Amino acid sequence: MSGGVLILHLPDGPGEIRSQRLAEGRIVDGTEGVAGDRVVAIAPAEAVALRRAEIGALAPAQARGAARLIAAEHSLTPAEQLHVALGAAADGQRRMIGAVAAGRMAAWMTALAEAGHDPDAIIPAPLLLPQPEQGFVRGDIGGRAVVRGVESGFADEPGLADALIGEQAVAVVQGESLIAAMQAACDAPPLDLRQGRFARKRHWRPDRAVLRRLGLILLALLAVTLLILLTQIVRTNLAADALEQRADALARTGLPRGVAAPDPQRQLDIRLAGLRGGGLGFSAMAGSVFAAVQAVPNVELGSVDFAPDGVLRVTVLAPGAPEAEALRARIVQSGLDVEASPFQSEAGRIRGEFRVSAR
């Protein structure tokens, strides 16, 4: 069964908005409705021109433009002052067109807002009657008699209605049939005047079920991301352990057989230091010093001594201070530190000591 509907009858001129509540197969006058009711405003038949016309299979914007042209052809009101609404397609492509003065539509919207209402739809009164298969139907909508035909709808005014109906049959709709027709029209309006600039603004409200699903998806994504990170960490640790084991195995190959080596890499470093000496080792440091001596003319080495602490002491013989300084600069350029002792004269030359160490 359909839910309740708060029906707001709009005035044709100055006046108050009258209300009814339609629910459970009956109508109650003067109620404000209850929570959860749909709100539908009813435009008076006198204010809205209704006619059905062939629109064709057009895009929505083109269909509205065509409806505006058709409405303007049959109205004394200038097209720019008309508000035109287009009904749903029925009977092929013949669709109901409703035209009302834009100023009156704006006044209705203002009055509804001041009364605290934002209706789901605004339906012309004749369209609350069932559509006849032929001829016309007549009924009372909100205390006003209206007529609906196959192609049109209008107020049941003496003289005008008779001229439009002519000799065609008119069926009266009342009682339960009228209530059922009103309920059906409110549930699925055949034409809603709330279109274009008067369309109802839709406010998005998050659905709890959707939010719950989104939350579960987010948690799943976080869990998968965390699992990937943990997997990468485990793989990295396993790879590091494997490399450490390979390094230990290689280090053991450089140690004497039968020697217990709980830390083979450290033991290998100690052994290498013992073989080559401290610092960079004798070979590397002596090679740099010998290359520097060869590059500086008339400079000789008197003695060479390599200490366990990695310091290479060399006695230098040079013609003078410039040559000794050139030798020191050459050794420094090779990446070593040089500390020179005071030089003394000896048989027309100078003698001194360089203490060479790694940086």
> For residue range 150-162, what is the model confidence (pLDDT) as tens digits?
999 999 998 889 9
Q: What percent of the chain has pLDDT over 70?
A: 90
Structural tokens at position 54: 């062939």
List pLDDT tens digits, range 237-259: 998 888 888 877 776 666 666 65
pLDDT digits (tens, 9 = 90+) for 95-146: 999 999 999 999 999 999 999 999 999 999 999 999 999 999 999 999 999 9
Cα 169 from Cα 65, distance rounded (Å): 34
> What span, in angstroms and rounded, lies between the C-alpha atoms of 50 and 192?
12
Angle at 281 between CA 275 and CA 284, to 5 degrees: 125
Instruction: Give 202's pLDDT tier (boundaries 50, 70, 90).
Output: confident
Question: Can you give the pLDDT at residue 3?
Answer: 74
What is the value of pTM for the model shown? Answer: 0.59
| 3-class DSSP assignment, residue 80 | helix
Residue 280 Cα distances to 79, 119, 264, 331, 355, angstroms: 98, 91, 21, 14, 14
- Taking the C-alpha atoms of residue 43 and residue 144, their distance in angstroms, rounded to an integer, is 11
Lowest mean pLDDT, pick from 50-54, 183-187, 306-310, 326-330: 306-310
Adjacent-strand bridge partners of 97: 51, 86
283-317: per-residue pLDDT in tens?
888 899 999 999 999 999 988 998 878 899 999 99
Residue 296: φ, ψ to 5°? -110, 115
Distance CA 262, CA 312 (A): 33
- Residue 345: beta bridge partners? 350
List b or e across 102-119, with b for residues whose CB sees 16 or more CB atoms inside 10 angstroms. Answer: bebbeebbebbeeeebeb
Question: What is the DSSP track for 225-261?
Answer: HHHHHHHHHHHHHHHHHHHHHHHHHHHHHTSPTT---
Q: Is the pLDDT of residue 279 over 60?
A: yes
Where is average pLDDT lowest: 184-188, 230-234, 258-262, 308-312?
Answer: 258-262
